[in-house]
Structures are given as structure tokens and as C-alpha cells.
């Protein structure tokens, strides 16, 4: 009984956390042709799950130093296709590429 309850609580928490991460469904380009502010996008769309300063949260691991573990291409692939409990497609196109490049610089 305790295992079922724990599974239910963990599953519910994961669903809520992923819903909070939700992507904006915007275009591949920044509004008005402006340059993409990867740090701002990351703060808005990633810190909900990955925690303040990207130091890890209840639902997601620390990524404040992800560039020391993964290349830009690997990070972008994770953003686009998901990994573990993270769904793919939260960012797309230019935003995904800019955030991956910014995160890759975090060592």
C-alpha cells in the first residue's frame, strides 16, 4: 500500500512539475526580429523545474554547470527531444539553439 501511495505522490508531483515547465508555443524566431536572450528564456522557462540559479529543483537536476558535462549539440538535443522526465519541444528553433549555446558555456 505504501509503495502505491508513494508512486501516486511521485507521479502527481512529476506531472505538476512538467506542467509548470510548459513551453510558450511561440515561433522559432524572437518577436520583432530581436536577438534571443537565452539567459532570460532560461530564467522564465527552465528555472521552474531546474530551480533558482539552475541549481536543481524538486523535479529536475542541476544544470548550472551542464556545459562541463555536455556539448552544445547534446544540450540542444535534450531541449528538442527531451531526456528522462523532461519532455522535448519546450523550446524550438532559434530559442533552443541560443539556450543550448548559453548553457554549454556554463562550466
Strand 82-83 versus strand 86-87 pairing type: antiparallel
Residue 81 confidence (pLDDT): 97
- Structural domain total, the chain: 1
Q: What is the pTM of this model?
A: 0.68
The string of pLDDT tens digits covering residues 4-59 is 654 554 555 555 555 555 544 444 444 445 689 999 999 999 999 999 999 998 78
19 is in which domain, residue-wise?
Answer: 2-104
Is residue 102 very low, low, confident or very high in pLDDT (cuts 50, 70, 90)?
very high
Read off the DSSP letter of residue 58. Answer: S
Residue 29 confidence (pLDDT): 45
- Looking at residue 13, which CATH number applies to its domain? 1.10.760.10
Amino acid at each position: 500500500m505504501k509503495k502505491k501511495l508513494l508512486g501516486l505522490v511521485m507521479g502527481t508531483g512529476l506531472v505538476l512539475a512538467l506542467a509548470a515547465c510548459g513551453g510558450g508555443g511561440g515561433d522559432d524566431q524572437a518577436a520583432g526580429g530581436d536577438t534571443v536572450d537565452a539567459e532570460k528564456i532560461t530564467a522564465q522557462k527552465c528555472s521552474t523545474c531546474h530551480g533558482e540559479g539552475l541549481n536543481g529543483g524538486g523535479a529536475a537536476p542541476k544544470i548550472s554547470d551542464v556545459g562541463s558535462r555536455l556539448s552544445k549539440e547534446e544540450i540542444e538535443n535534450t531541449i528538442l527531444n527531451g531526456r528522462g522526465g523532461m519532455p522535448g519541444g519546450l523550446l524550438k528553433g532559434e530559442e533552443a539553439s541560443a539556450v543550448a549555446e548559453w548553457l554549454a558555456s556554463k562550466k
